[in-house]
């Protein structure tokens, strides 16, 4: 494997899947690569003279960051010509389930995918949907509209990026392989109804079975990791002046963001505001965050019910409630008097 430019020059590698402003604002977003130079998209023209022979492609979908309490969940689609899938991804480059690759190998592969002129960049395309921690929690905790659970959010993300590649970028995708959410057959049937012209395979451990899914898992994992680093670095920058004034050592990292990570749990306890909790980086719907916000170090807020609230805005208007005539005249002139009228 070729050494990465990042490793050679010591400069941080930020892939185009990272949108810093959206991440820091707690916004979800989608991102798509340009069409690779070796792939011919389907033509939008109805003219017989301009009809092209679009490249038949295979597409894989996988995610990263489903379980953490901190940071976004990332869904990725990765596509390339069918005949290049195994030669390019498994023979020339050792793509595999991102969990079995080291962070350095994953980042190196991602950098090659994003480097113009490289074979991976010329032949492979990607799409990502980054679901922010704020939006994940808002969906899971929304009142009155019904819970928008994580499986439903994941399904919608998968549909969005497949549709974006096939319908908007007009890539001639023939086969789709997806790592499952829940029961593979149920998930596959849902997607087949939405995309009846695609051959869709949903399977457990798809990231180990199909090279295009392995590549998608690498894109998703690297994007998730760098997104988490970006959010943490911005938080440290914001708090750096205060830390210097207090002459405290640098705050330990928040780790992987998973509830099982002691660094993550320790950071959550140290950084929790007793009233507001944390910022956009935290999934408030997770049990870890809920328990801390309901603990002894948090401020309890009781919201009055509508039924118990007897005072409305009409009670402050003239003619409502026990307001005296003198008080009414005062309220009448709170914003001034009519022209030609004096009191």
Q: Which two tokens stand for residue 169?
A: 């970028």
SS3 letters across the chain? CCCCHHHHHCCCCCCCCCCHHHHHCCCCEEEECCCCCCCCCCCCCCCHHHCCCCCCEEEEEEEECCCCCECCEEEEEEEEEHHHHHHHHHHHCCCCCHHHCCHHHHHHHHHHHCCCCCHHHHHCEEEEEEECHHHHHHHHHCCCCCCCCHHHHHHHHHHHHHHHHHHHCCCCEEEEEEECCCCHHHHHHHHHHHCCCCEEEEECCHHHHCHHHHHHHHHHHHHHHHHHHHHHHHHHHHHHHHHHHHCCCCCCCCCCCCCCCHHHHHHHHHHCECCCECCCCECCCCHHHHHHHCCCCCCCCCCCCCCCCCCCHHHHCCCCCCCCHHHHHHHHCCCCCCCCCCC
| Backbone Cα Rg of the chain | 27
How far apart (Å, rounded) are the C-alpha atoms in residues 266 and 205?
Answer: 32
The label of the residue with tokens 């005062």 reads 330
User: Domain extents for the chain?
Assistant: 20-42+52-228
Q: CB under 8 Å to 323, separation ≥6 — which residues?
A: 331
pLDDT of residue 153: 96
Sign of CA dihedral 108, 263, 138, 178: positive
pLDDT along the chain (343 residues), means of 10: 51 93 96 96 67 90 96 98 96 90 94 96 98 95 85 96 97 96 91 97 94 97 96 85 48 85 93 89 93 83 60 49 50 48 48
Binding residues for a divalent metal cation: 62-63, 179
User: What is the strand order of the sheet 57-64 is part of?
Assistant: 29-32, 125-131, 73-81, 57-64, 173-179, 199-203
pTM assigned to the model: 0.82
Tokens representing 200 are: 């869709």
Distance CA 217, CA 228 (A): 16
Identify the pLDDT of residue 52. Answer: 73
Which residues are annotated binding-site positions?
62-63, 179
pLDDT tens per residue across span 44-89? 765 555 557 999 999 999 999 999 999 999 999 999 999 999 999 9
Q: Is 273 exposed, middle or buried (0-12, 13-18, 19+ CB in 10 A)?
A: exposed
CA distance 32 to 127: 4
The dotted CATH code for 20-42+52-228 is 3.30.420.10
Helices 150-163 & 184-194 angle (0-180, nearest 10): 40
Task: Return d(Cα 281, Cα 223) in angstroms, integer.
Answer: 15
Q: Pick from 57, 18, 58, 27: which is nearest to 201 by CA?
A: 58
pLDDT of residue 50: 53
Q: Which two tokens stand for residue 145?
A: 């509209």
């Amino acid at each position: 494997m070729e050494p990465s430019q990042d490793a050679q020059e010591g400069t941080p590698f930020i892939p185009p899947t990272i949108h810093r402003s959206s991440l820091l604002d707690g916004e979800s977003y989608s991102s798509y690569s340009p069409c690779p130079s070796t792939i011919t998209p389907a033509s939008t023209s109805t003219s017989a003279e301009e009809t092209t022979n679009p490249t038949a492609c295979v597409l894989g979908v996988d995610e990263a960051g489903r379980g953490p309490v901190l940071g976004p969940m990332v869904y990725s689609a990765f596509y390339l010509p069918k005949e290049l899938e195994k030669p390019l991804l498994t023979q020339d480059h050792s793509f595999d389930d991102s969990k079995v690759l080291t962070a350095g190998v994953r980042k190196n592969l991602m950098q090659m995918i994003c480097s113009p002129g490289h074979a991976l960049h010329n032949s492979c395309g990607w799409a990502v949907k980054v679901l922010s921690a704020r939006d994940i929690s808002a969906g899971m905790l929304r009142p009155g509209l019904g819970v928008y659970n994580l499986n439903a959010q994941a399904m919608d993300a998968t549909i969005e990026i497949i549709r974006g590649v096939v319908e908007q970028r007009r890539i001639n995708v023939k086969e789709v392989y997806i790592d499952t959410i829940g029961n593979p057959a149920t998930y596959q049937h849902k997607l087949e109804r939405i995309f009846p012209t695609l051959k869709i395979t949903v399977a457990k451990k798809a990231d180990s079975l199909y090279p295009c899914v392995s590549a998608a898992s690498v894109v998703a994992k690297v994007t998730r990791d760098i997104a988490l680093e970006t959010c943490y670095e911005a938080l440290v920058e914001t708090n750096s002046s205060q830390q210097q004034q207090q002459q405290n050592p640098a705050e330990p990292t928040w780790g992987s963001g998973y509830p099982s990570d002691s660094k993550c749990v320790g950071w959550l306890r140290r950084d929790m505001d007793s009233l507001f909790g944390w910022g956009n980086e935290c999934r408030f719907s997770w049990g870890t965050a809920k328990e801390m916000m309901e603990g002894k170090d948090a401020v309890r807020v009781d919201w009055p019910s509508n039924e118990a609230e007897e005072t409305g805005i009409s009670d402050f208007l003239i003619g409502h409630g026990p307001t005296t005539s003198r008080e009414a005249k005062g309220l009448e002139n709170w914003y001034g008097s009519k022209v030609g009228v004096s009191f």
